[in-house]
Amino acid sequence: MEDKNKKLVNYYFQVLGDDRFLKVLEKLAGGEGYGIEHVWCVFAEDYEEWEEDYFGDEGIAFYFDYPAVEEDEEVIIDYETLFIYLKEITGDYIARHPENESEIEKYMNKIKERYQIKK
């Protein structure tokens, strides 16, 4: 399951593309979801317990709707897993855009602090 989740989170960033990458990290660092048309993410605190899409008190959900995927998909991960995935994703981005490394580090530190990531 984790491998599928990782692939879908990577796909989220591929769909949004390098031109939106820093904006997405800025939003995540601020506890805000982000998306376009058929691909988006939402934080747990965006939902109330009584709402249909409520998935708990913490974590982040990534949603993928057709035609971005064959069948609608949903991935819910905890903050530590998000951070692990982001380390790899940001590493790939920095390889393509080394000029943005300090900005990436700033957002990653904010994410780590906001969600109390220990690693």
Residue at 42 is within a domain: yes
Residue at 12 is within a domain: yes
pLDDT for 53:
87
Q: Which residues in the chain land under pLDDT 50?
A: none
pLDDT for 83:
97
Q: Are 44 and 56 in contact (CB under 8 A)?
A: yes
Measured from the Cβ of residue 98, the count of other Cβ atoms closer than 10 Å reads 9
Residue at 46 is within a domain: yes
Residue with the two structure tokens 């949004």: 16
Helix and strand numbers, DSSP H then E, in the chain: 4, 4
Could you list the residue range(s) of the whole structural domain that residue 98 is in?
Answer: 2-114
Number of domains present in the structure of the chain: 1
Residue at 18 is within a domain: yes
Whole-number Å distance between alpha carbons of 35 and 16: 8
Per-residue exposure over 76-87, b if at least 16 CB sit within 10 Å of its own CB, e if not: ebebebbbbbbe
pLDDT for 48:
86
pLDDT for 1:
56
Residue at 119 is within a domain: no
pLDDT for 62:
97
